[in-house]
Amino acid sequence: MAAYVLHSHDWSESSLILDLFTREHGRVVAVAKGAKRPYSQLRPVLMPFQCLSVVFGVKRSEDAEVWLLRQAEWAGGPAWPGGAALLPGFYLNELLMRLMVRHDPHPTLFDAYVQTLHAMGDPALLQAALRAFELTLLRQLGHLPQLSVQTIGNQPVVAGQPYELHPDLGVREALWVGESGAGPVVLDGQVLMAIEQALSLTGGIPTLMAACMPALSELKALLRTLIHYHLGSQTLRTRQLMMELQQP
């Protein structure tokens, strides 16, 4: 089965505990016995951002929290670009670990993750890829309402009109009447409709990236607020690190 390593940590002198994102089972925690040994066949492949083909051992019970990783092989695909995409890549992994519950399959989200990793190889597309993945993640987990209508009242969104996206109240007409840039993040109705259409199509991340392009800065601030709301008191370590690195 296809899988990606989201995170790993030592379990003993020779073994690892892995947080895996699989297409068939969602997020899975597994133990890789002997993976740290120099001669282990698992050691060179259990790396983030590369697609693996994995085989699990027989579970002791249906509700077992930790599975046994029997086999893992590189499943092919392009090499991870690293560089400017490295921290954003770990940011994606942290989002999945913090927001997804275990053993909840999301094949559409898995496919979006694969497409996002590929898109992030182009520095010019990095921000659009991140926004597209965040939107897909929120929609797949049930945290993003329909964007083409106002959530309360179900009135259609109108191109050229400003709207807010509130964590609790959903899409609503912009109420801020003060100075521009001082109030809540506002998106044009046309952008919201384009994003909603992209989310409903089968084009995946590339189509959604194109819909995000006209409002990347606004979407970055807006999605940061939505994600922070659903994380609760948790703080994303990767986001904090990226902010610290940007400081002079």
Contact between 6 and 20 (Cβ < 8 Å): yes
pLDDT digits (tens, 9 = 90+) for 96-129: 999 999 999 999 999 999 999 999 989 999 999 9
Output the CATH code of domain 87-246.
1.20.1440.120
Where do the domains of the chain lie?
Answer: 2-77, 87-246
Do the domains at 2-77 and 87-246 have one common CATH topology? Answer: no
Q: Which helix (H) or strand (E) holds 21?
A: strand 16-22
pLDDT digits (tens, 9 = 90+) for 177-229: 555 555 688 999 999 999 999 999 888 999 999 999 999 999 999 999 999 99
* C-alpha to C-alpha distance for 147 and 143, rounded to whole angstroms: 12
Can you give the pTM of this predicted structure? Answer: 0.91
Output the CATH code of domain 2-77.
2.40.50.140
Residue type, 155: Q
Burial 224-235 (b: 16+ CB within 10 A, else e): eebbeebeeeee
